Amino acid sequence: MIESLRALLPVDRVLTGDVYLAAYESDGLTAFRTKPRAVVVPETGEEVIRVVRWCHQHGVPFVARGSGTSLSGGSLPVEEGIVITLNRLNRILEIDPVDRVAVVEPGVINLEVSRAAERHGLHFAPDPSSQTICTIGGNVAFNSGGAHCLKYGMTANHVLGMKAVLATGEVVEFGGRSREQVGPDLTGLFCGSEGLFGVGLEFVLRLLPKAECFHTVLAGYRSLEEAGNAVSAVIDSGLLPGALEIMDALAIEAAEAAVSCGYPAGAEAVLIVELEGPLEKVAVERVQLNEILEKTRSFEKRVAADSVERMTIWKGRKSAFSAVGRLSPDFIVQDGVVPRTRLGEALRRISEMSKETGFRVANVFHAGDGNLHPLILYDGRLEGSLEGAKALAGRILEMCVEMGGSITGEHGIGMEKRDYLPGMFSDYDIEVMKRVRAAFDPKEVANPGKMFPGPEAPSLSRSGLHPLEEAGVISRE
């Protein structure tokens, strides 16, 4: 089988040695690993098409991946399957300042799109924390967001069209260069499909004018709940900031140790609010924002005087996930969503769960749209530590659904959350989703085992039990 695969690409781009496969055993969710049968390294769209058609013909499962920054196990290899790595499909094919679009390949780094468009006064709005390394293909697969998704929306709001090879080997083109489309929105359907339909080969991205000016404020609070309530106050006022972010004391401690961001000493939480737009508009809104924050009991406020201070404030937030590695050998990142009006309550309940279970939780999140990112710290070397951390993560997800929210905001379902999907959707809903998937991939060779609950043991439970069963939270009796 592998020999026939080698006939499709130069021999040095079909990797089967253990030293190569080890680099692809997991993605950003490193708790679990699966060794693929082989890793293929295409350099053109035509090579990707040949490999996908080979997989369909032989019934071999495949996972397409870029930089592997997924935090839900979405690009975890499939046992006995292959990995199609897309990092060498990294060309920006076109920047059109008139139509305000970029045409790029899937392996292009997110930030490189904005750098290429900068000379035209344009940028690509989605900005995940990993934007210096994550690829556009992965952003589309998981409908990534970022700090500024409150104002600008998710990746799906900025993908106008695409060329893709479906899991059957059929090459299709969806959408186009205009925001006005005719017929079903197949581009929108492909965004967030987590690789279950096929592989994107080219994407038409919407570019936006760069903001004329920014007004970035860092506010310190004595409690996490006060910071959460401040978010509601800002939104209720009618302001629509470019970003609204919160970090708690544990996340602040990690960020300070990593990048010395100079956040207020003694703060149990910091709130980052960023206004952006035309000078005249921001001038009015900054007065309104200052009045709001004066009423929210912040004990210290700092306003970025220039771009250097602005980037220092954001450096702490952007480095938070990796910085937490200084506090714990292992951690799990969740991304459940709650209504903004219940943000303070959700944070209080997470704190109570943390004390009850003994697991420290660092909170970093997109507060403007209620997208929580609790980082649950554990030591995988200790027996039962991983399972306990996952049980706590599951309780947080169930809390989000109970409050009227979601089990994911931008990280996707992947392997990690698939067994929590029935908590949000009925059996009929899930069956409809599976039928849609089957229309694109009848053999289920594209990223199988992801998103939907399966008969096999949950990916993050070594005992074969649901994580909440292991913790005694639920029972099947």
> Can you tell me the distance from the alpha carbon of 123 to that of 111, in angstroms, rounded to the nearest whole number?
9
| pLDDT under 50: residue ranges of the chain | 457-477
CA-based torsion, 225, 226, 230, 233: positive or negative = positive
The 10s digit of each residue's pLDDT in 204-239 is: 999 999 999 999 999 999 988 888 888 888 988 989
What pLDDT is recorded for position 471? 45
170/181 Cα distance (integer angstroms): 22
pLDDT digits (tens, 9 = 90+) for 47-71: 999 999 999 999 999 999 999 999 8
Distance between CA atoms of residues 145 and 71, nearest Å: 13
Domains identified in the chain and CATH numbers: 2-85 (3.30.43.10), 92-209 (3.30.465.10), 213-323 (3.30.70.2190), 325-470 (3.30.70.2740)
For position 457, what pLDDT does the model report? 40
Residue type, 111: L
- What pLDDT sits at residue 379? 92
pLDDT for 456: 53
